[in-house]
Amino acid sequence: MPNVAAMMERSLPGSVLEVLRTAASVASREPESARELYLVGGMVRDMLRGEASEDIDLSVVGDGPAFASALASELNGDVTKISEFGTAAVEAGSLSIDVATARDETYEHPGALPTVTPAGITKDLARRDFTINAMAVDLSNASWGELIDPHGGMSDLMMKRIRTLHTDSFADDPTRALRAIRYESRLGFKIQPVTVNDMQRDCGNFDAVSPARALADLRHILDEPQRATSLERAEELGVLGSISPAFRIAGRSLKAIQDTPDREPIFHVALIGARLTQAEAASLIKRLDPPVDWRAALGAGSTYQEIASVLERSDLRPSEIAELLEGFPVLALEAQLQLAPATRQKAALRSWLEELRFREPLLSGDDLLAAGVPQGPLVGRLLAELKRARLDRTVGTRDDELTLVKRRLPVMLNDNGGY
Ligand code: CTP
């Protein structure tokens, strides 16, 4: 077994090494909670590539939550969550440490949450998603730094390969398809043809994945800089379609996602929604059951498409542009602006977003009452009229607005029988 202790010294930040050493001494003191202790997951993968990562994943043969609480008190940290699967999280300063009880997993039916039983590290590694994520570094004092790599993860790292451990991996957990794609884009690796075959064969099992889990893995993709590459690949491999047949991303939207690397994830959701039909947006929302900002971002696209051609008219007044665009979420219109070809529509969107939406009358409701307008619906109607006049620049000063009110009030009173 190769020993990677020297590599750990070189690649891991001092604060992480310190936590790992503390964990090793807690384990030697409390063997009933940790007969064996390992560093696992992304930190092992990234360290072997010479890169530092933030999140520490520990696996203990014993009792994960009990070990987490001993570790937390040694580090002056807190145990923040304990799950039914024998895992617990420790927060210590800026570091977050996940502690899991080494376990075996079986799946009652494809896509279901696993049934978990405590196990040794060999079984714990065998239940994992990809060979590059199925390595462990022994942290016990006697064998500190020994690399356990039963599935050829190190050689796949060197060959830049994403490979599952067994042919039914995606049937067990279809969300691994999104994970494979995310690692491929992030690391510049290649999903192996056999793994692609398995993925495409078993992606139909996405039906059994809950909205919350599908949404969580999509969010992970949107959170990473290579999101456009991942989304394009997920569409090409049929993974988006397995999540929902309504899930497609227009080429223009993909390019716009790529062109806006610094925008927040919800803006990219709006770019996805921008070219969906109403039926597609509705069924995607039903499938993902996302929070309200996602619903608005996905749903606004089809409503906008209904009015897009009107925005091409050359005779539109600013107040008419306002009437068309008021009520749309700003983010959805920003997404449309990003997508629009250089036409009148684009100019209208820009003028609404940058200027028109901020134009308000100078007079307030109180000013209208002071000018003799009776309390009631007329106040709102006059304010709306003032706003239109200001948008179209037919009024300039406060006096212009008062003059308009005095001219319109008798007419409106007359129309309204006094109100
Ligand atoms: N894992 C898995 N199957 C999943 C999710 C996670 O096998 N569906 C395993 C992998 O071994 C993974 C580890 O759990 O390495 C930790 O999961 P996570 O924190 O999501 O990923 P990391 O590998 O730490 O990678 P990332 O850099 O994306 O956080």
User: What distance in angstroms lies between residue 42's CA and the mean position of ligand 1's atoms?
Assistant: 6
Atom 23 of ligand 1 has which residue's CA nearest to it? Answer: 42
Pocket of ligand 1 contains residue 41 by CB under 6 Å: yes
**According to the model, what pLDDT value does residue 417 have?**
58
Distance CA 5, CA 24 (A): 13
pTM above 0.95, yes or no: no
User: What distance in angstroms lies between residue 118's CA and the mean position of ligand 1's atoms?
Assistant: 18
Pocket of ligand 1 contains residue 114 by CB under 6 Å: no
User: What distance in angstroms lies between residue 41's CA and the mean position of ligand 1's atoms?
Assistant: 6
CB 29 within 8 A of CB 68: no
What are the boundaries of each domain within the chain? 5-159, 244-358, 365-415
Pocket mutation for ligand 1, best pick of 49, 57, 133, 162 (most atoms within 8 Å of C-beta): 133
Atom 16 of ligand 1 has which residue's CA nearest to it? Answer: 41
How many angstroms separate the Cα of 148 from the Cα of each of 16, 18, 136? 20, 21, 5
Pocket of ligand 1 contains residue 268 by CB under 6 Å: no
Pocket of ligand 1 contains residue 57 by CB under 6 Å: yes
CB 168 within 8 A of CB 194: no
pLDDT in tens, the chain (419 residues): 799 999 999 999 999 999 999 999 999 999 999 999 999 999 999 999 999 888 999 999 999 999 999 999 999 999 998 888 889 999 998 899 999 999 998 888 877 788 888 889 999 999 999 999 999 999 998 899 999 999 999 999 999 999 999 999 999 999 999 999 999 999 999 999 999 999 999 998 899 999 999 999 999 999 999 999 999 999 999 999 999 999 999 899 999 999 999 999 999 999 999 999 999 999 999 999 999 999 999 999 999 999 999 999 999 999 999 999 999 999 999 999 999 998 999 999 999 999 999 999 999 999 999 999 999 999 999 999 999 999 999 999 999 999 999 999 988 888 765 45
What is the dihedral angle through the alpha carbons of 127, 130, 131, 136, rounded to the nearest 10 degrees? -60
Query: Which ligand 1 atom is nearest residue 176's CA?
Result: 8
**Cβ count within 10 A of residue 342:** 7
User: What distance in angstroms lies between residue 392's CA and the mean position of ligand 1's atoms?
Assistant: 56
Query: Which ligand 1 atom is nearest residue 183's CA?
Result: 28
Query: Which ligand 1 atom is nearest residue 43's CA?
Result: 24
CB 351 within 8 A of CB 321: yes
CATH architecture of 5-159: 2-Layer Sandwich (3.30)
